[in-house]
Amino acid sequence: MVQAAIAAPVLIAIMLAAGGRRLPRPVVDAVATGTILAVTVLLGIVLATALRHPVVTWLGGWPPRGGVSVGIPLVADPMSAGLALLVAVLTLAALVFSWRYLVEVQAIYHALMLLFTAAMCAFVLTGDLFDAFVFFELMSVIAYVLTGYKAEEPRTVHGALNFGVINSLGAYVTLMGIGLLYARTGQLNFAAMGARLPGQDHRLVTVAFALVCTGFLVKAATAPFHFWLADAHAVAPTPVCVLFSGVMVELGVYAIARTYWATFAGAVPGARPALAFLGVVTALLGGVMCVLQRHVKRLLAYSTVSHVGVILLGVAALDHDSLAGAAYYLLGHAGVKSALFIAAGTLLNRFETLDERELHGRGLRLRASGAVFLVGGLGLAGVPPSGLWAGKAVMDEAAQRAGWWWAAPVGVVASALTAGAVLRVWLRVFRGVGPSGGGTAEHEDSETGPRMSRLPWTMLTPGVILAGGAVLLGLIPGLLHGVSHAAGLFVDHDGYVSAVLSGGAWHAASAPLHPWTAAGLVGGAAGVVLAAVVAVLGLHQPVPRILRPVIDRLRAAHSGHVGEYAAWLTAGVALFGLLLFTA
Amino acid sequence: MSRRTRFAVFAVGAAGLVILFVLAAFRLPDFGGRFHPYGERAVTSAIAEKTKNVVSSVNFDQRAFDTVGEELILFASALGAVILLRMVRREREEEAGEHGYGPADVFDALRLTGYLLLPVTLLVGVYIVAHGHLSPGGGFQGGVVLGTALHLLYLTGDYPALARLRPVPVFESAEALGAGAFVVLGLAGAGLLIPMNSVVGLEVGCAFVLVLAKFFEQALLVRTDDAGTEDS
Amino acid sequence: MSHLPYLAAGWILLAGIFGMVTSRNLVHVVVCLSVTQSATYVLLLAIGYRKGGTAPVFSDIKPTGKVVDPVVQAMTLTDIVVNATATALLLALAVQVAKRRGTIDPDELRPLE
């Protein structure tokens, strides 16, 4: 079942690449969408099974003997199966959106999207660290190509190149870490390595953790590894952005969490403060950069940086409740951010520009897109009962118990800045508020070829459904319980090891979660109010003079210069390692 | 950021990285030591399966799923080269003849060497693919030899001959066929070393030819119509 | 002395990153990226080495003979393919940057904002 979910899109992708050029476009669309629909159903069944008891599949008939194996397992626990399902659902939305979009594409686009889905699913499901590296690379290679899809635009190829170089560098550092672990444990399997880490020299283990995490931190766009993200997101085709921001970046955080709990649990005491520090810096830096942007996709990209920082902060607490909250937050963010990118795509389609000032007041008649921006902005701000709000409330409560009083304000500031920026766009573009003019009149390709008389439903519906679903996520009965159960299994290191290596029992002690607390509601309200303030100030107030030098510095640092990004990456590895040792 | 600042950031990071890596390197087992539990298990398993080349057994049998991923990377990047190096607006393709890319003026000795080496190299490639389960080599190594062999024709100065020898659509289909067959073999019947090596050889060779063909097109045939390359 | 090969791998990694940081040419950046990846080959193969071991191929030696670790060799093979393909793609992007922007000096490319 699990293998089929990976094999089906791969085989269909290969067929499309071989013969899709001769098929008419609607057939290609139908085949690709149908395949992803089938994968979604398959993964739904896998998730339902995994919720009862996790499924471990040893590929190629090499099951472990005496607690060791030479093969590779796929481990479908509720968290990994759930993420794989999210990948499939978002791909479905992206493919439906691309029916009328990207009209000039050949079937190769569809083949790449299917391969991308399979790569992400294999990456979350694998139980082997080197195999994770291979699929990380597959995912990245496809991502570079999809980013550079509009190869005729100078910015596109430049952004894709920066993305490719920095991501590959991160992946190679990860491989160095895998080498260190292999030398000491003689294993590549998460569980088998984890079983042999106790008693190893803590310096080696800590350095290995720092190196292995580097590639994943780059993928998760954690400061100071985040520079590539905005360059890539601003130029990638809209349906691709949906997958990038909605789930690919978050998979970096998932990989850190998986590596930590399956392998390193307890062996790296510095992980908690080190990850928390990076999470806070990322959340705040992303928020500030988000407010400063006027290119809508770039703005949304920085908002992703900020929110992934919050998710990383939730994971960094390294406890069950906080992880469950982070997972919930991830779900909510995936829905909202995908919907926002889709709405931005409709803007690009209508007006061939994404400059916020240039678009002033031009969205008055795009009611559905405007609604998505409003709902999305409120969702990012953390309005109850959105997924972001519920996840945040659960994370904050866990942080409070751990003595991290500063975690809740950081989250509120991040939501307020990013949501404020989105609401500012809504006010300016869709309501025509604020002074007009000052646009740069820089034209971009509309991605659709001939102009359409009106937006087709396929371009609107996915966004409306995703935004609506994400905002109502906190109300879905049983979902919180399921996520809590998934997190309970996820943090159970001994259960994971015994289930993978000897088919042992793996039970979670899941505690019920309660987002509907007074503190949670206050946090949500504070986010919304502050976001409104940020939005209104952003419309009317120029940046205060005292802040100008700081802001100019920040802008200058995000220069698009690949050598600088590589320098920051090196410094980031050193910083992360230092934090791991000093804490 | 000035070059000096950039270098300073790197220097600080590099210093930290050196400390981290040295700390770890001295905690690794001694170079050439005897601690290779996974390696020993892999050898035992390969012998149990009667595979002589243990590396092939690891690649195509025990850890076949890694190789499926690796094959797909190759497949995806060949598709990627087709996408990224395609003709876009403002560009047109020129006929090879238009430029005098006919047989170029090269030494006869070079031309002769190229023509003689072509069949020999192809044969070596096939040999390396076919013997992958027995001796060092296999689909990847042999595929690369096969893919590069054709380009000896380019070295003899005859680009049109190379272009005639490798019709791109055929190679695209063959590449997809190889990748598809490998995925099926890898997921269904891991351990069929000879067919797996063969389809890998097919895929790698075709992917190589395809990617190089795209680069040749860009270098030799594609011209931008207007002189200004900067965006408006 | 017995840790020198590992340190050499670290040195190659740093040399590659140094090249990327100071480079004035995108093609050079991509090649430096390959250099950093060579560090992983050296590290993996050094880890798998066994004194007196031969290649893990038993076509002409007895299965009881001492051999080096075949798993790292398989990993390195995978790694090499990954490197070759990633390099090809990045060079393709560098070609397009050169065509669209007229320069491949990172210092001269305009910011992306």
- Range with lowest mean pLDDT among A277-286, A371-380, B66-75, B89-98: B89-98
Residues of A with CB below 8 A from B35's CB? 186
CA distance to partner chain A, nearest, from residue C78 (Å): 8
Average pLDDT over residues A148-177: 93
Which range among A343-352, A559-568, B48-57, B87-96 has the greatest average pLDDT? A559-568
Structure token digits, residue A54 = 């996790």
Calpha distance A564→B140 (Å, rounded): 35
Residues of C with CB below 8 A from A564's CB? 21
Residues of A with CB below 8 A from B191's CB? 60
Average pLDDT over residues A369-393: 93
Average pLDDT over residues B134-140: 85
**Would you call C50 and B34 a contact, using CB atoms and an 8 Å cutoff?**
yes
Calpha distance A16→B173 (Å, rounded): 10
CA A311 to each of CA A254, A304, C50: distance values in angstroms, whole numbers, following the listed order: 10, 10, 44
CA distance to partner chain C, nearest, from residue B126 (Å): 19
Q: CA A373, A483, A335 angle in degrees (round to 5)?
A: 15
β-strands B222-224, B91-93 pairing: antiparallel
Helix (H, G, I), strand (E, B) or coil at C67: strand
Computed over every residue of chain A, the mean pLDDT equals 91
CB neighbours of residue A52 within 10 Å: 8
What architecture (CATH level 2) is domain C4-108?
Orthogonal Bundle (1.10)
Residues of A with CB below 8 A from B45's CB? 62, 70
Q: Is A363 left (phi over 0), alpha (psi -120 to 50) or beta?
A: alpha
**Would you call C97 and A234 a contact, using CB atoms and an 8 Å cutoff?**
no
Position B96 pLDDT exceeds 70: no
What confidence tens digit (pLDDT) does each residue in A410-420 have? 999 999 999 99
Long-range contact list for A41-46, CB < 8 A, 24+ apart?
A42/A1, A42/A4, A42/A5, A42/A8, A43/A5, A43/A81, A43/A84, A43/A85, A43/A88, A43/A121, A44/A85, A45/A1, A46/A1, A46/A2, A46/A5, A46/A76, A46/A81, A46/A84, A46/A85
Do residues C57 and A193 make contact, with C-beta atoms less than 8 angstroms apart? no
Calpha distance A362→A430 (Å, rounded): 7
Burial of A505 (0-12, 13-18, 19+ CB in 10 A): exposed
Among A68, A137, A138, A163, most B C-beta atoms within 10 A, so best to mutate, is: A138
Question: What is the reported pLDDT for A444?
Answer: 72
Helix (H, G, I), strand (E, B) or coil at A355: strand
Calpha distance A72→B70 (Å, rounded): 15
- Cα A123 to chain centroid distance, Å, stands at 14
What confidence tens digit (pLDDT) does each residue in A334-368 have? 999 999 999 999 998 888 888 888 888 888 888 89
DSSP of A29-73, one letter per residue? HHHHHHHHHHHHHHHHHHHHHHHHS-EEEEGGG---BTTB-SS-E
Count of CB contacts below 8 A, B vs C?
Answer: 152
Is C108's Cβ below 8 Å from some Cβ in B? no
Q: Looking at chain C from residue 14 to 43, which residues have their Cβ under 8 Å from any Cβ of chain B?
A: 14, 17-18, 21-22
- Say which of B27, B63, B79 has its CB closest to residue A201: B27
**Would you call C17 and A169 a contact, using CB atoms and an 8 Å cutoff?**
yes
Structure token digits, residue A351 = 């007006």
Structure token digits, residue A3 = 């293998």
**Would you call A560 and C111 a contact, using CB atoms and an 8 Å cutoff?**
yes
Q: First and final CA of chain A: distance in angstroms?
A: 43
pTM over 0.90: yes
Do residues A449 and A104 make contact, with C-beta atoms less than 8 angstroms apart? yes
- Say which of B25, B55, B224 has its CB closest to residue C77: B55
What confidence tens digit (pLDDT) does each residue in B196-213 have? 899 999 999 999 999 999
- Say which of B6, B47, B74 has its CB closest to residue C81: B74
Residues of A with CB below 8 A from C94's CB? 161
In the block, which residue shows the tokens 């990994």? A80
Residues of B with CB below 8 A from A141's CB? 73, 76-77, 80
Domain ranges across chain C: 4-108
**Would you call A180 and B183 a contact, using CB atoms and an 8 Å cutoff?**
no
- pLDDT less than 70: residues of chain C: 1, 110-113
Question: What is the reported pLDDT for A170?
Answer: 97
Question: What is the reported pLDDT for A366?
Answer: 87
CA nearest to B215 within chain C: C92
